[in-house]
Chain A
């Protein structure tokens, strides 16, 4: 039996450039024939499209002016947006009363900030009631009759502020409803459970547009003949019910994430049902469901655009009526839709970033 002699290979020089920009380009763009082809094709098509787009959007775009005549260059006519900006943001709300819309938006921002800034002890006692009161304070403020301000009827409310306030007001009121429905769905009482399941499945299974439609054609039939229900109020009711169903499912998955030991511990120290639910389980459910709550909010915020179908003057509806205005018949549809698209994209994208951040922050809690 012969033993092969061990011959070490000669030492090789260190591989050149495994880090740094050149290595990065080689690894990430030109690692295989397929990748080289893909990179070349993508770069070529970007080079073909991007300069023209940038030129149309920014360089030869018309930025200043007040009327269509200002759009002389062949780029985008952003004058269209700036001329209609008040309508786009506030609808037909009277100019001298716009501070009320702004104040409502500030209140909303303030309450959100409050719930982040307040110390833990005060948060539940101050922020929660503030949140629940907020929609009603905003309605009083915007309507103005009860506060002795100039009354502004709801058909004048509109624009982007309506999208924001309607979405916020819906999700705030849907919070307790969704929580109750989720509790109902988990409860051991057969009748309560089946009622909750029916509600949740009905509102989740129905297209939101059909719900809005029912709100505008069927809800008036449900009320006594002498009661007229405001159109915006009907929309709000529909949005609340719709949101509640989605929130109920969010909360249900939150409940399922709570270890049963938490329930047992609460039982063992003799807490009653509501004490157990509100003091032990609910805070944990909220924490776990926060990213999903934000995702649901993004969804309802996007869905407020659907209201244009029943002629509620939300942002896109305002743009579309501006497009058919006789002073602006130059075909500015692309600018208008791009603007609406960009605004919604910016809002929804930043909220989904926030959701991801929260998710990462909470990730340490239950998993390790």
Chain B
């Protein structure tokens, strides 16, 4: 009878080096423990020396520790905030303003970089030679120039614009000058609630129509013009509500009063430069991702689709894009995350996002580097975690299911 041997015993017996190999330090299991203990001791020692040095240095320099500084008044102004702010407000409020400004510029950047990326990524496959060349030139230029240089470049351009009195003017509604971009704000009057309700109802109706059309196609094979009917619902329902309630909206136009424009929405040049640079830079990487994704779909798929008589537009939307999304989505995930990390370059032009005002201005005043850096980094990790979760959820739906 053969006695059952463990894999370990077999390995020990069959080792070419014979007896010496049975020594305990040659046993992979023990050796693993030895290596890990050495690593553990090293790391403990490393952190012990860092922490003790830090505590010594902090007490020598008279730096306090703890989070009590968050409640004290910051005493400096911020260029732009989405929530009301006064210079007497606390560092905690500075922190909140920073987070909101970071999120705002990230969202704008993600939207526009995705649009740019998909336009130029698909333009690469255009039958028009010039369009294809433009897509290549766009990617190769903006991908290969450091993004911080692009931000500073746009900021210089916006600073070279004329003063408010001589603003660039588009139809007396949109103005662009050295202090920023101004455009009209849509203001709702009484009764606007009905219109908002209609918009929400229209969105829900579109989902219902889509589900019903899919079910009908599965049962009968008949196709329902989902795109046109949803467009009709999305435009028609709110339009109807608008007419019934008597258009309860008006535009608040920006107007020149004194030295600058009042009213409407104003966007500071720092925000514009950062948003443009990030969108254009990240858009170039997304265009590459889209191109790689489309190229990853085998040519046979297009040919098969043609052979069953699908229209060219349907081939793109039903066959190529869904399959290429498998390759594109994971790449989009990392591009979005690097966009969020790149918002920190705002500090070169002074746009008040989290890094500039909290890890910059606040840190300079308080000096509590450990706490402030910890809080700042935690926010970047959290934002990236959210992006990752959303994209992974999206990825699950496009993933190839294999057995």
Contact = CB atoms under 8 A, between A and B. Distances in A.
A28 B128 contact: yes
Contacts of A191: 36, 39-40
A220 interface: yes
A188 B32 CA distance: 8
Contacts of A31: 127-128
Interface of A: 27-29, 31-32, 35, 38-39, 42-43, 188-192, 195, 205-210, 213-214, 217-218, 220-225, 270, 298, 302-303, 305-306, 308-309, 316, 320, 333-334, 337, 340-341, 344-345, 348-349, 352
Contacts of A316: 146, 148-149, 152
B15 interface: yes
Interface of A, helix, strand, loop or mixed by DSSP: helix
Contact of B384 (A27, A189, A205): A205
B128 A35 contact: yes
B39 A225 contact: no
Given A206-B377, A306-B345, A38 B131 contact: yes
A187 B140 CA distance: 38
B363 interface: yes
Contacts of A333: 156
A179 B347 CA distance: 33
A320 B151 CA distance: 14
B224 interface: no
A349 B284 CA distance: 13
Which 8 A-B residue pairings sit nearest by Cβ, starting from the closest? A28-B129, A348-B144, A207-B341, A209-B344, A305-B146, A207-B344, A302-B146, A191-B36
B359 A192 contact: no
B348 A308 contact: yes
Interface of B: 15-17, 32, 35-36, 39-40, 43, 50, 53-54, 56-58, 60, 127-131, 134, 140-141, 143-150, 152-153, 156, 337, 341-345, 347-348, 355, 359, 363, 369-370, 373, 376-377, 380-381, 384
B128 A217 contact: no
Contact of B130 (A43, A190, A218): A43
Contact of A210 (B16, B50, B146, B355): B355
A31 B35 CA distance: 67
B240 to A, nearest CB: 34
Given A191-B40, A221-B53, A270-B15, A29 B130 contact: yes
Nearest to A27: B127
Nearest to A222: B50
B58 A221 contact: yes
Nearest to B340: A207
B146 A344 contact: yes
